Chains A and B, each alone.
Chain A
Amino acid sequence: MHIPDGILPAEVAIAGYVTAGALSWYSLRRINQQPDPEAGMPKAALLTSAFFVASWIHIPVPPTSVHLVLNGLLGIVLGWYAFPAILIGLFFQAVLFGHGGLTSLGVNATMMGLPALLALLFFRLRHRLRLDNRNWTGIFAFLSGMGGLVLAALIAMTVLIATIPADLDVDAEREAIYSLTLAHVPLGIIEGAFAAALVLYLLRVKPELLET
């Protein structure tokens, strides 16, 4: 899921930074409009560390293995703090462990952060549809958690397929990208279940943490 340095052409990397910049600006503006922008900071900081370590947790999906991303979950729980949290988590992953890269940071942040915000909007839809009882909240959390991850995998697939260098065997590389994307479907189910479990748990023990 994390695209490393040296894979993407320069214009795509720059476009990634432009979209990531725009999303950061919009997220920070929405955070600033809140009555107390600092209120979400402890939660955002904690979940940034969860996002930071999540990529260490590998789930074997033969013939490959995938790792947790938790972007949908961050969107649900953090609201507009999700994008800066993902951006910071990715920065640390890239600098410390070379997981992802600095030139591709913008693309990676957009790829995981935009679906996180879309997951948030979808999760909030339950209020408008008046489906915000406990069961429906769990279902919405599942779909948001799963959707955020699957959407990120689809964005990664599109970006990678559109930029396969001509020097490679394009068909073979495309096949490999398809199979890796497909491996993210079971992961989506796991992340959806994790999001639903966490949301139901928070709803029971500390519902004020779930303002979204």
Chain B
Amino acid sequence: MIQRPITVLMLSGLVLILLIGVTPAAAHGVEITYALTPVQTVRVEVIVHDLAGEPVRKADVTVFTPEVAPGDAPAAAEAELSPWLETSTDRNGWVSFVPDPALAGSWQIAVAVDDADAHITLPLAEESGLIRLASDQGISVMSSGLQVTVAATPITTIQVALHAQFDTGEAMDEAQVVVYAPDNPQDPFLTGTCDAEGRYAFAVDLGRPGVWEIQVRKAGHGDWLKIDLDENAIEFEEVPVDTAGDADSTNTTVQTVRLADEVARSVESDDGLSSGQIVLMSATTIWGFVGTALYFSRRRAATRPESESDN
């Protein structure tokens, strides 16, 4: 009779483990929510020429955020710090990107082609919440056979702030994010990693209108997000400023930006299931299975009454 206590012990141990561990949520699906905010930032354009003035195509351009020690792009590359962006120039020797407006400081750009390379420090200063190029002129660097010109134009764009979590509520910490621009679904616009809370933010380039696709992934779990942002995603608004008491000015307005209603609505729509729906769906499905079991066991009982009664 030794087996019986063992069975009881194992069953009660299992029940205990389950009681500790049960979380009433669908298992390891992924929930990605996002917020869109209009931001003012700069579009950085990098143009690479050789010393003869010919554009250099397919030069590797690597961009590091200011979190890397200032003025240290080669060191960053050696230390294998992950670059914020890896891309290459087009046939006009041109490439552009929109830096993360939250990261003011010295951005590092490394340009390399065959045996020539150049490193540029791009000082982006923050001023009342906006970032801009610290010096008004563009930056031009000449080095070992390459001539690199960097310019920064102020633009208004949209910042996408993602929050990725498993639907158990657990954050997808360190999940990888790959963003594809609408005009190039093959090569990533940028790649990055969520923080410990599963958050990641980047600014899109509204010069590339259309559907932005974002993949968030960790250990084979993840999802794709599609955000439709066209040229009209941002609306400019004239907001009247109350100047009562100020005799000199009349009807002063200030231009502000806001998300177009259509875009704002698409963010608000939430097709997640409520827990009531989940419970009801589960219950009906389980009843379907149990009902099937009952149907077949009754059918068997009905078709073989004699043989059953013989036993």
Name the A residues within 8 Å of B25 (CB-CB). Answer: 56, 58
* Contact digits for A1-43, partner B, Cβ 8 Å, 1 yes 0 no: 1111011000000000000000000000000000000110111
A137 to chain B: closest CB distance in Å? Answer: 10
Q: Is the CB–CB distance between B191 and A134 below 8 Å? A: no
8 Å CB interface, A41-94 against B = 41-46, 48-49, 52-53, 55-60, 64-65, 67, 92
Name the A residues within 8 Å of B11 (CB-CB). Answer: 197, 201
Q: CA A160 – CA B178 in complex, angstroms? A: 17
* Contact digits for A125-165, partner B, Cβ 8 Å, 1 yes 0 no: 00000000011001000000000000000001000100001
Q: Which of B3, B217, B286 contacts A7 (CB 8 A)?
A: B217
Which A residues lie at the B interface, using CB under 8 A? 1-4, 6-7, 38-39, 41-46, 48-49, 52-53, 55-60, 64-65, 67, 92, 96-99, 134-135, 138, 156, 160, 165, 167-169, 172-173, 176-177, 179-180, 190, 193-194, 196-197, 200-201, 204
Q: CA A58 – CA B139 in complex, angstroms? A: 55
Q: A6-B224, A59-B21, A168-B191 are in contact. Are A193 and B13 (CB under 8 A)?
A: yes
8 Å CB interface, B154-172 against A = 168, 170
Q: Is the CB–CB distance between A92 and B296 below 8 Å? A: no
Give the number of residues in B that approach A within 8 Å (Cβ atoms).
55
Q: Is the CB–CB distance between B293 and A58 below 8 Å? A: no
Q: List 13 A-B contacts (CB under 8 A).
A: A4-B30, A7-B217, A38-B300, A39-B300, A41-B292, A43-B293, A58-B23, A60-B21, A65-B168, A97-B29, A135-B3, A172-B176, A176-B218
Main secondary structure of the interface of A (DSSP, over half): helix
Q: A3-B220, A96-B282, A97-B273 are in contact. List 8 more A-B contacts (CB 8 A).
A: A1-B28, A41-B293, A43-B293, A56-B25, A56-B27, A98-B26, A168-B178, A179-B219
A161 to chain B: closest CB distance in Å? Answer: 9
Q: CA A24 – CA B271 in complex, angstroms? A: 34
Q: Is the CB–CB distance between A4 and B176 below 8 Å? A: no
Q: CA A57 – CA B24 in complex, angstroms? A: 7
Q: Which of A52, A56, A64, A168 contacts B289 (CB 8 A)?
A: A52
